[in-house]
Structure 1
Amino acid sequence: MTRIKQFDLPDLGEGLTEGEILKWLVAVGDDVELNQPIVEVETAKAAVEIPAKWAGRVSALFCEEGAVVEVGTAIIAIDTDPGAGDLPDRPDADEPAQGGAPGRTPVLVGYGPRTTAAKRRPRRTQPSATPAPAAQDLFTPAGVRETAPAAAPLAPAAPVAAVIAGPVLAKPPVRKLARDLGVDLHVLTGTGPLGSITRADVRSAIETPAEPDVRFDASREHRVPVKGVRKLTAANMVASAFTAPHVTEFLTVDVTRGMRALDRLREQREWRDVRVSPLLLVSKAVLLAIRRHPMINSSWTGDEIVVKDYVNLGIAAATDRGLIVPTVKDAGRLSLRELADALNELVRTARAGRATPSDMSGGTFTITNVGVYGVDAGTPILPPGEAAILAFGAVRETPWVHKGKVKARRVTTLSLSFDHRIIDGELGSLFLSDVGRFLADPEAALLAWS
């Protein structure tokens, strides 16, 4: 029975097909326990820690930190019986490798099986008296000693051109970079070990030689890779903006009474250990207004409009990884205290970068709190599959006509964007007006709507 088990990058749900290795939590030679976190992976939805499927000793890491790996690709090998003596670091040749085809026997770290058809690296013919070169693209974590000296690599005297007629020698991250930039690997000359094509080779292929400008050279530029959450957000926003006909309405509201109501809530003994923010008041206003206008909480499928009787309330949050929208599930069923606790936990999880794909799926209505940045209003883009999104602006002390006199009042602006295929101007206006009425006087609204 195979001792060396290869662990494939699992399907993390929500249709995700790849993930980036953010950080290895183990190294070659480490002993691991069942369900011990072994690697942190970033998907287009979230950063998650993946646990070990078996207990044993890490015998190989197949991917570098920063590598983008397809679901089903082997990322680590674990010796499940390290006390049984030394064995080659590979599965038995007669058994199918984990996630691979029968008979495939990877013997080098960095050469793992795939669930798709096997694509072998090109073999280079060497004279019989010449020792085989050591694989230069292996990933050996810093601080890990080699158990045996590696054979000296054969460095080519000059860069080796990739063979046009056959497959090229390049790592998966390099291949992905080439696809993203539209570069044909077959026409490149590899400058890496054994003639392999490197990231630098791909990037140099798209750089147009030009007269250098010493004032504005590359040393004064910073390139940010578009990947993970940022890449998915960009794709979703483009798809939404050019699919759903957006309409945005604005409403400026005197929320002085609403802010005083929050102050009174904070003073109550059972609320003194709870963070009470204006976002809580806005969230409650949205939930009550949706109850009065259910069509706001719907989605367009093309053949029908799906109106949901539950509200998964999304809260847009800016993080180091980009914009994410975790959701409070079935928020309409929560009490005000439960809603406050859920919002606070959601914010903590998002800021810590620990929101899971499940946390960010299934949203039906979204609030984006632009006011925390001192912004008054905006025209938010609908999250895919949702009919409306509300932007909550900054609460400012403003000269305002109140009871016939100009007084300093606390005022905010609400911006509602909605899908005009589902929501017409009347419905959007009524919903926005109800949200504003609640914020202006929560106690009166609750009495009127109960």
Structure 2
Amino acid sequence: MPTQSYLLPDVGEGLTEAEIVEWKVKVGDVVAINDIVVEIETAKSLVELPSPYAGEVTALLVEPGQMVEVGTPIIAIGEPGSAAAAPTAPAPEATSPVEATVSTGSTDDTEIDWSNPAASGGGEGESLVGRQKAERGPVRRPRKGSASPSTESAAATQMQVQGAFAPGGAQSDPVVESEEPAVPATSARPDPVESRVADPLTPPAATGDVRVLAKPPVRKLAKDLGVDLATLRGTGPGGVVTREDVLRWSSSDERQRGAAVALRDASSLGSSGTESSPALAVKPDREWREPVKGVRKMMGEAMVGSAFTAPHVTEWVTVDVTGAMELVERLKGHRELRDVKVSPLLLLARAAILAIRRTPVINSTWDDAAQEVVFKRYVNLGIAAATPRGLVVPNVKDADRLGLRELAEALSALTATAREGRTQPAEMSGGTFTITNVGVFGVDAGTPIINPGESAILCFGAVRKQPWVVTRDGVDVIEPRYVTTLALSFDHRHVDGEAGSRFLRDVADVMEDPGTALLF
């Protein structure tokens, strides 16, 4: 069979990109249809992708840690025994930077492999990407006393680009021979001999307009890690900065060497008559950077969109939940609930579902495009879960139709999957109401931001024993009671204060006296 390229699919709702986290196979492995081949991280979760083809893995086309767009080939699968002859990466088309500029109208520096002499305008050498020397076309030999060959090549490239976009839209012929002196240009490629030094950790000295040699994936890795390529000395062929150079430099020891460089530069500025700024002497090991991507990026965008779209109003109520805590202990010993987790969160979820029946606007959505309020006859109950990759809000579908045991099982499975980072995009879509439990962190309350597409979110604070005034036989006495604070944020465009207050009071009543649930 011919070699098949597996294109990165859209595993969510309109997701455009994903990060390759880990390959589950290697070149030469034989896979069957639906065998897991790779784990990716989308803007919503970690997802394992099965193979749509059967055969032998001939190439892994994307490195782990790299972001790729949906529709990009990520793995090649062909006939068994064809892996030895297959390349480990897709061979790029033989296109020079000038041709790319003519065809697209612009050139992005990150898309040019500056380790390629044809791309950098430098001297001869092995091309890592792009055309070989013989395919670069005629190049004028330098006249005596003129600029260096690398300067001539850069100038010729500049003249070709200018000719390609001559006024009137006509493409001019590239100039090969001219009687005019060459236009001086700074080579974008440093001398390969000077680039090879004994200590790869020693940063290069400033040399003006010198372009650091690195492939696009390495440039992206450096950008994600906050590493300035100008501070690295490449150890690859011709002084090319490699992935290992970037990772090595991002370690603690090398950041300290970067601090020494900053101090040296600050001293040189002071000696030249410019006042030295204390900010230049900040030690790099006092701070670090993490790229904003995946779940964390999606969370940030969603929270900003919600906060600046829906006018939030937050109300609080402090409740004596001693009755609820006693019920939790009794339910733990019940024969139907012994093998499931029974917690105060379970009772709060049940109380919220019952309260929604009396105030359905809490479970509605504001449709700005249609200028309508959409009421839901179902409750998809979301539970906000903090994970190492960011905040996710999976939801229990049709939670209002579940009994107490089924709801307990669904909440346990939902939170366990979220903590492992295995929540699927479908499990986080379609939510109608959310509960966030900040009490597990020992926090009393907060002003939560409404999950996009919903109208309200309930915050469950820590349950603590506190002195509380209790009336017994007409006499007020102070007793230690279990007390918590509930906070409700709602969209004030269509949920007014009366509706929000009634819902919050109903939830509080059930938590204070679980027997009142019979009234709903």
Partner of 1:305: 373
- Runs of 5+ unmatched residues, structure 2: 96-102, 131-190, 196-208, 251-257, 267-276
1:284-340 deviation digits (Å, cap 9, x = unpaired): 000000111110011112211111111111100111111111110111111111101
SS in 1 for 2:192: coil
TM-score (norm 1): 0.78
How many Å separate the matches in 1 of 2:297 and 2:334? 44
Residue aligning to 2:451: 383
Partner of 1:96: none
> 1:169–1:196: 8 Å Cα contact kept in structure 2?
yes
Is 1:282 equivalent to 2:348 in the alignment?
yes
1:316 alignment counterpart: 384
Alignment of 1:433-448 (within 5 A): 433-443=505-515, 445-448=516-519
The answer to which structure has the higher helix fraction is 2
Amino acid at match of 1:257: G
2:499 — aligned with what? 427
Say which one has the larger Rg: 2
Equivalent position SS for 1:269: coil
Structure 1 residue runs of 5 or longer lacking an equivalent are: 91-104, 112-116, 137-154
Q: Secondary structure at the match of 1:249?
A: strand
Structure 2 residue 257 is the aligned partner of structure 1 residue 273: no
Taking the aligned partners of 1:8 and 1:197, their CA distance within structure 2 comes to 29
Q: Name the aligned partner's letter for residue 33 of structure 1.
A: A
| Structure-1 residue corresponding to 2:480 | 408
- Find the residue that maps to 1:247 and give its secondary structure: strand
Letter in 1 for 2:469: V
Q: Quick one: which of 362, 378, 395 aligns to 2:430?
A: 362
Distance change in 2, residues 1:418/1:194 (3 Å): farther
Q: CA deviation at 1:170?
A: 4.4
Distance in 2, matches of 1:279 and 1:372, equals 10
Give the aligned length. 395
1:74 matched to 2:73? The reply is: yes
Indicate conservation of the 8 Å contact 1:399/1:408, yes or no.
yes
Displacement of 1:221: 2.2
- Alpha-carbon separation, structure 2, partners of 1:47 and 1:16: 13
Q: Kindly provide the amino acid, as one letter, of the partner of residue 378 in structure 2.
A: Y
Per the normalisation by structure 2, the TM-score is: 0.68
Distance 2:281 2:223 in 1: 29
Q: Give 1:216 deviation, angstroms.
A: 3.7
With 58-67 and 40-49 compared, the bigger mean Cα shift is at 58-67
Give the 3 Å change call, closer, same or farther, for CA 310–357 of structure 1 in structure 2: same
| 2:60 is the counterpart of 1:61 | yes
Provide closer, same or farther for how the CA distance between residues 315 and 212 of structure 1 changes in structure 2, counting only shifts above 3 A. same
Q: Which amino acid aligns with 1:270?
A: E
Instruction: Supply the distance in 2 between the matched residues of 1:173 and 1:214 (Cα, whole angstroms).
Output: 26
CA deviations 1:184-211 (Å, max 9, x no partner) are x9x9x996767878896xx99xx99755
Secondary structure of the 1:340 match is helix
Amino acid across the alignment from 2:441: Y
Equivalent position SS for 1:276: coil
Aligned residue in 2 for 1:171: 216
Distance, in Å, in 2 between the alignment partners of 1:171 and 1:59 is 23
Asked if residue 338 in structure 1 is aligned to residue 406 in structure 2, the reply is: yes
Shift in Å at residue 132 of structure 1? 4.8
Calculate the aligned-residue CA RMSD, in Å: 3.7
Counterparts in 2 of 1:86-97, with a 5 A limit? 88-89=86-87
Distance 1:381 1:401, change over 3 A: same
Q: What residue is the counterpart of 1:256 in the other structure? A: 322
Residue matched to 2:170: none
Taking a change above 3 Å as real, the CA distance of residues 400 and 65 of structure 1, as seen in their structure-2 partners, is same
> What is the CA-CA distance between 1:171 and the residue it aligns to?
2.2
Letter in 2 for 1:304: E
Task: Report the alpha carbon displacement of residue 377 of structure 1 after superposing the two structures with TM.
Answer: 0.6
* SS in structure 2 of the partner of residue 270 of structure 1: coil
Task: Say whether the 8 Å CA contact 2:59–2:83 is kept in structure 1.
Answer: no
- Contact 2:58 2:83 (C-alpha < 8 Å) held by counterparts: no
Partner residue in 2 for 1:19: 18
Check conservation: 1:162, 1:169, Cα contact below 8 A. no
1:18 maps to a residue whose letter is E
Q: Distance in 2 between matches of 1:248 and 1:226?
A: 29
Q: Deviation digits for residues 126-157 of structure 1, max 9, x if unmatched? A: 9xxx8854569xxxxxxxxxxxxxxxxxx934
1:306 partner letter:
V
Q: Is the 8 A contact 1:162 1:190 kept in 2?
A: no
TM-aligned CA distance change 1:59 to 1:132, over 3 Å:
farther
Report which stretch shifted further, 283-292 or 296-305.
296-305
CA contact (8 A) 2:385 2:392 kept: yes
The 3 A distance-change label for structure 1 pair 265 and 88 is closer
| Deviation >4 Å, runs of 4+ | 83-90, 117-126, 130-136, 158-163, 175-181, 189-200, 207-215
Give the direction of change, closer, same or farther, for the CA distance of 1:286–1:133 in structure 2 (3 Å limit). same
The question of whether the paired residues in 2 share the 8 Å contact of 1:174 and 1:198 is answered with no
Conserved? CA contact 2:356–2:362, under 8 Å: yes
Deviation of 1:177 after TM superposition, in Å, equals 7.5
Q: 2:419 aligns with which of 348, 351, 354?
A: 351
Q: What does residue range 214-253 of structure 1 map to in structure 2 within 5 Å?
A: 216-253=282-319
Aligned-pair identity in percent equals: 52
- Segment drifting more, 411-420 vs 234-243: 234-243
Q: Report if the CA contact (8 A) 2:355-2:503 is conserved.
A: yes
Equivalent residue runs for 1:167-206 within 5 Å: 170-171=215-216, 174=219
Equivalent pair of 1:68/1:173 in contact (CA under 8 Å): no
2:237 and 2:15 mapped to 1: Cα distance?
33
In structure 2, the CA distance between the partners of 1:268 and 1:125, relative to structure 1 (3 Å rule), is closer
1:258/1:31 CA distance change after superposition, 3 Å? same
User: What secondary structure sits across from 1:57 in the alignment?
Assistant: strand
